[in-house]
Amino acid sequence: MALSHLAASASRSSSLLKPLSSALSLRRPISGDNSPLTVETSVPFTSHQCEAPSCSVETNPKELLTFFRDMALMRRMEIAADSLYKAKLIRGFCHLYDGQEAVAVGMEAAITKKDCIITAYRDHCTFVSRGGTLLEVFAELMGRQAGCSKGKGGSMHFYKKDSNFYGGHGIVGAQVPLGCGLAFAQKYSKDETVTFALYGDGAANQGQLFEALNISALWDLPAILVCENNHYGMGTAEWRAAKSPAYYKRGDYVPGLKVDGMDALAVKQACKFAKEHALKNGPIILEMDTYRYHGHSMSDPGSTYRTRDEISGVRQERDPIERIRKLILSHDLATEKELKDVEKEVRKEVDDAIAQAKESPMPEPSELFTNVYAKGLGVESFGADRKEVRATLP
Amino acid sequence: MGFRNIIGRRLGLGLVRRRKPFSTATCDGDGNGNAKSINLYSAINQALHIALETDNRAFVFGEDVSFGGVFRCTTGLADRFGKARVFNTPLCEQGIVGFGIGLAAMGNRAIAEIQFADYIYPAFDQIVNEAAKFRYRSGNQFNCGGLTIRAPYGAVGHGGHYHSQSPEAFFCHVPGIKVVIPRSPRQAKGLLLSCIRDPNPVVFFEPKWLYRLAVEEVPEHDYMLPLSEAEVIRQGSDITLVGWGAQLSVMEQACNEAEKDGISCELIDLKTLLPWDKETVEASVRKTGRVLISHEAPVTGGFGAEISASIVERCFLRLEAPVARVCGLDTPFPLVFEPFYMPTKNKILDAIKATVNY
């Protein structure tokens, strides 16, 4: 990653901190400081119908360390979910996000919890970046009561109302018109917030996306459509499904920006730019050029339609966590050991959360009938063998 | 041995009885040709191979069908018939079906695959408004009879909300299309070939739970099974049970249990839901006086309601007990609660006894 010279204060404080930590040999709390740091993104933005933002991203050591920790947590969480699935503790479908963490983390850094995010089924990390806890994640994956959707949703249906995370949708592309509806409500309430509607390269070919784009552009809605382009729609490469894989240009009259989605800072810059744009001028498309290491879901090995060389190549050259690690080390914001300690800490957190989640019970059988409607219908339903007490739909 | 063979053929027993020596279907080329033991997805694969072989204007398309499909139903087709006839579509169900209607309107056999029946809803408008009414509104100038839409449906044990639905009832409400659901590999091959060659648009739901699980002797040659003919797959005298697809094996287990209690059950596989064979069901109800319908889809507004209303209309005075329906609950198809939601053998058995002892 191209380095720029440090701001004077940053180098001073980091050199002050280093001898302190080695003298006390304590694990320095990785909080860093807020002194500004400017980093150049390595891949420039490509724009369509708008001016691209600058490649110089404002950040600070604290933010970089937070990025590192959060992405390491997400990575560890997804790997742990993989093992749990193979141990049959997680059943059904499980779509893992490892490789794409920079998008979740970078986006969150640019916005507030009042802005809405809505995404498809690859939602574990987005949920965490919106403030979800590991316990809620693992409990929901295993279908337990402590899960964020009370165990009734599963992997594809994570939601968090208090931080405006609207989930978690199974049908491809269906969440995008919903996102535009959220944006309309935000515009109506005049609260200067925006909605990020995320979808994949497979969903980019759905008709409802274009319907949503047209509506957003017509009514100037603060909707930001983010295409997380990991180049494969399940097993189909983008060039085999789309005449034009330049998804950021698909909006035609709607401006677009192509972003290196493996670079958390570039994502942050783009989202910040997009939010400002959307509040003034209406919808914009962001195409995040990213990659997933796992297959489409746990039933997909991920190696029948792409070579192992490709996967390991991306892991070596573009891995988002490694990039931040290199950046932190080259700017002397932390030592390698400290970063390794963070990873160990994170691993422990994940293991603890799993242990806790395993103790959470399955939902009560009566939960089968709750929340079908808002109020009771008085409809009777029976238990498994008709010998149980009749339940009335609450 | 000969007598048993005749009985066997009349009974048309399905997959649960595969240990018995007689054949299963009522009117295929039995006795002729080799039969091999294969599973449901292989049977469907064979049917598709034959369909493309015998008609060079037949096409197979859908998401991921080229490499064989997520359930392997389309294996080998692209290699054998080429990419111009077997091809992948982008992720757009509405587009797939609309495109299929157009292709069929030009006189071709368009075999469209919707990857899971849960995803068929974006295409619902195309099916209901375009496909079903094309012949009617053009005064028979045009039609899309060559269109067949295949979709895996039904519970699979861990599918959750969007990989387990049974949407057949929505489509049975549309005059102009046919809805067909096979119960076993042998049935699937014959019925699918009939659907493809039928001059009306057909929606063919395949029970995904049975793709690997159901194994049966399936003749290797080209054969068709008639549409709109229900089959009595088990003779009985006390109660008639009506079902389709994967649910039949559950019902058969319930029938076996009921037999131990001295209740003789007649089991009918509807096979075609629209237009359905009222005569066979009615004849059976006139014999037994009781009927029970079972399906995985939620009970309210499910296809069982149509069967119930029709039977009551036609056989009111003969009925000894109210028509029983043992179906899925009126909730979205749940995730962890699937065992509670499903119409299980015990629920059916309970209902059989309640109906017989009414």
Alpha carbon of A133 to those of A105, A176, A317, A357, B183: distances in Å?
15, 26, 30, 11, 45
Distance CA B50, CA A234 (A): 29
Q: What is the per-residue burial (b if ≥16 Cβ within 10 Å, else e) of A265-274?
A: bbbbbbbbbb
What is the number of residues in chain B? 358
Which residues lie below 8 Å from residue B128, measured CB to CB, with a gap of 6+?
A: B174
Listed range (B136-145, B245-254, B255-264) with the worst mean pLDDT = B136-145
Region for A386 from its dihedrals, namely left if φ exceeds 0, alpha if ψ lies in -120 to 50, beta otherwise: left
Asked if pLDDT for residue A46 goes beyond 80, the answer is: yes
Q: What confidence category does residue A368 fall into, taking pLDDT thresholds of 50, 70 and 90?
A: confident
Q: Which two tokens stand for residue B296?
A: 């995985």
Query: Could you give the CA distance from residue A243 to residue A225 in angstroms, rounded to a whole number?
Result: 19
- Short-list B230, B255, B185, B253, CA closest to B45: B185
Cα B193 from Cα B43, distance rounded (Å): 11
* Strand ranges (E), B200-316: 202-207, 215-219, 231-234, 239-243, 265-269, 272-274, 291-298
Q: What is the pLDDT of residue B317?
A: 96
Residue written as tokens 């006839």?
B85
pLDDT of residue A394: 61
In chain A the first and final C-alpha atoms are separated, in Å, by 57
Residue A348 in tokens = 């422990």
Reported confidence tier of residue A26, pLDDT bands at 50, 70, 90 = very low
ipTM of the assembly?
0.73
Report pLDDT for A380: 66
Q: Across residues A176-201, what is the average pLDDT?
A: 94
Q: Look at residue A365 in the predicted model and tell me its pLDDT.
A: 83
- Residue A11: pLDDT over 50: no
Of the partner residues B91, B121, B158, the one whose CB lies closest to the CB of residue A205 = B91
Q: Where are the domains of chain B?
A: 3-219, 231-356
Taking the alpha carbons of B160, B163, B168, B170 in that order, is the dihedral positive or negative?
positive
Distance CA A251, CA B308 (A): 51
Q: Using the predicted structure, report yes or no on whether residue B323 has a pLDDT greater than 80.
A: yes
pLDDT tens-digit map of A80-94: 999 999 999 999 899
With an 8 Å Cβ cutoff, are A368 and B329 in contact? yes
For the record, the structure tokens of A234 come out as: 């399940």
Chain B residues whose C-beta is within 8 A of a chain A C-beta are 63-64, 67, 88, 90-92, 94-95, 118-119, 121-122, 158-163, 300, 329-332, 334-337, 339-341, 344, 346-347, 350-351
Q: Is the Cβ pair A385, B92 closer than 8 Å? A: no
Q: Which two tokens stand for residue A360?
A: 């959470």
Residues of A whose CB is below 8 A from B345: none
Q: Which of A227, A381, A386 to mutate to test the interface with B (most CBs of B within 10 A)?
A: A386
Query: For residue A237, which residues of chain B lie inside 8 Å, CB to CB?
Result: none
β strands within A79-230, DSSP E? 116-118, 195-200, 223-229
Residue type for B266, please? E
Q: Tell me, what amino acid is at A358?
A: K
**Over 90: is that where the pLDDT of B126 sits?**
yes
| Residue B336: closest C-alpha in chain A | A143
As a whole number of angstroms, the distance between CA B151 and CA A94 comes to 22
3 state DSSP class of A48: strand
What's the residue count for chain A? 394
Distance from CA of B24 to the nearest CA of A (A): 32
Rounded to 10°, the helix A320-330/A264-281 angle is 110
Say how far residue A390 (Cα) sits from the centre of its chain.
Answer: 42
| Whole-number pLDDT of residue A235 | 87
Angstrom distance (rounded) from CA A265 to CA A71: 13
Taken in order of first residue, the domains within chain A and their CATH numbers are 37-363 (3.40.50.970), 364-393 (no CATH)
A353 by DSSP, 3-state: which?
helix
Strands (E), chain B: 35-39, 58-62, 86-88, 109-113, 147-153, 178-180, 202-207, 215-219, 231-234, 239-243, 265-269, 272-274, 291-298, 324-328
> pLDDT band at residue A100, thresholds of 50, 70 and 90?
very high
pLDDT (0 to 100) of residue B305? 95
**How many contacts does A have with B, using Cβ atoms within 8 A?**
104
Q: What is the nearest CA distance from A348 to chain B, expressed in angstroms?
A: 28
Q: Which of B106, B104, B121, B300 has its CA nearest to residue B202?
A: B104
pLDDT recorded at residue B3? 40
Active site includes B266? Answer: no
Contact A381 B329 (CB under 8 A): yes
Chain A residues in contact with B161 by the CB 8 A cut-off are 157, 170
Chain B residues whose CB is inside 8 A of the A205 CB are 90-92, 95
Helix (H, G, I), strand (E, B) or coil at A77: helix
pTM: 0.82
Nearest chain B residue to A153 by CA: give it.
B335
Comparing alpha-carbon positions, the chain B residue that sits nearest to A371 is: B331
Question: Rounded to whole angstroms, how far apart are CA atoms B287 and B238?
Answer: 8
Nearest residue of B to residue A305 by CA position? B67
Is B338:B155 a contact under the CB 8 Å cutoff? yes
Strands B231-234 and B265-269, by their bridges, are antiparallel
Determine the distance in angstroms separating the CA of A265 from the nearest CA of chain B, rounded to an integer.
31
Give, rounded to a whole angstrom, the gap between the first and last alpha carbons of chain B.
40
- What is the pLDDT of chain B when averaged over all its residues? 90
Minimal C-alpha gap between A150 and chain B (Å): 11
Helices A336-359/A134-141 angle, 10° precision: 50
Out of B49, B113, B130, B163, the active site residue is B163
How crowded is the C-beta side of A248, counted as CA atoms within 13 Å?
Answer: 22
Put simply, the answer to whether A363 touches B334 (Cβ < 8 Å) is no
Domain B231-356, CATH among 3.40.630.30, 2.60.120.650, 3.40.50.920, 3.10.28.10: 3.40.50.920
Do B3-219 and B231-356 have matching folds?
A: yes
Say yes or no for a CB contact (<8 Å) between B91 and A368: no
Task: Tell me how far apart the alpha carbons of residues A9 and A255 are, in angstroms, rounded to a whole number.
Answer: 38
pLDDT exceeds 50 at position A8: no
Average pLDDT of the residues in A174-196: 94
The proportion of chain B whose per-residue pLDDT surpasses 70, expressed as a percent, equals 91
Which residues does chain A have within 8 Å of residue B334's beta carbon, measured at their own beta carbons?
A: 152, 368
- Residue bearing tokens 């079908």: A372
Closest-approach residue (CA) in chain A for B346: A385
Buried b (16+ CB within 10 A) or exposed e, A58-76: ebbbbbbbbbbbbbbbbbb
Nearest-CA neighbor of B329 among A122, A377, A40? Answer: A377
A322 contacts: CB under 8 Å, gap ≥ 6: none
Catalytic annotation, pick one of B49, B63, B93, B266? B93
CA B165 to CA A387: how far, in whole Å?
A: 26
The CB density around residue A110, as the number of other CB atoms within 10 Å, is 18
Q: Which residues of A touch B119 (CB under 8 A)?
A: 171-172
From the list A152, A207, A236, which residue is nearest B95 (CB)? A207
Task: Tell me how far apart the alpha carbons of residues A37 and A84 are, in angstroms, rounded to a whole number.
Answer: 40
Q: What are the C-alpha distances in Å from A79 to residues A99, A138, B75, B140?
A: 11, 12, 32, 59
Are A225 and A197 spatial neighbours (Cβ–Cβ below 8 Å)?
yes
pLDDT at B306: 96
B18: tokens are 């595969």
Q: Given an 8 Å threshold on Cβ–Cβ distance, is B337 in contact with A363? A: yes
For residue A386, what pLDDT is reported?
Answer: 52
Q: What would the mean pLDDT of B120-128 be, rounded to a whole number?
A: 95
Please give the pLDDT value at position A67: 96
- What b/e string do you get for A313-337 counting C-beta neighbours within 10 Å, with b at 16 or more? ebeeebbbbebbbebbeebebbeee
Mean pLDDT of B287-302: 95
**Which is more confidently placed, A367 or B125?**
B125
Chosen CATH of B3-219 out of 3.30.450.40, 3.40.50.970, 3.40.50.1860, 3.10.20.600: 3.40.50.970
Task: Give the model's confidence band at A366: pLDDT under 50 very low, under 70 low, under 90 confident, else very high.
Answer: confident
Give the pLDDT confidence of A114-158 residue by residue, as tens digits. Answer: 999 999 999 999 999 999 999 999 999 999 999 999 999 999 999
Q: Which residues of A touch B344 (CB under 8 A)?
A: 384-385
Residue in this structure with the two tokens 């739909």, named with its chain if needed: A393
Dihedral angle, C-alpha B268, B272, B276, B277, nearest 10 °: -50
pLDDT tens figures, B209-243 = 999 999 999 999 999 999 999 999 999 999 999 99
Residue B20 in this model has a pLDDT that exceeds 50:
no
Model confidence at B98: pLDDT above 90: yes
How does the average pLDDT of chain A come out, rounded? 88
Query: Which member of B64, B162, B340 has the closest CB to residue A384?
Result: B340
Instruction: Tell if the CB–CB gap between B159 and A92 is shorter than 8 Å.
Output: yes
pLDDT cut 90: percent of chain B above it: 87
Active site residue B282: no
Spatial CA neighbour of A198 closest among A222, A224, A217, A218:
A224
Q: What gap in Å lies between CA A351 and CA A360, rounded to an integer?
A: 15
Measured between alpha carbons, how far is B137 from B141 in angstroms, rounded to an integer? 9
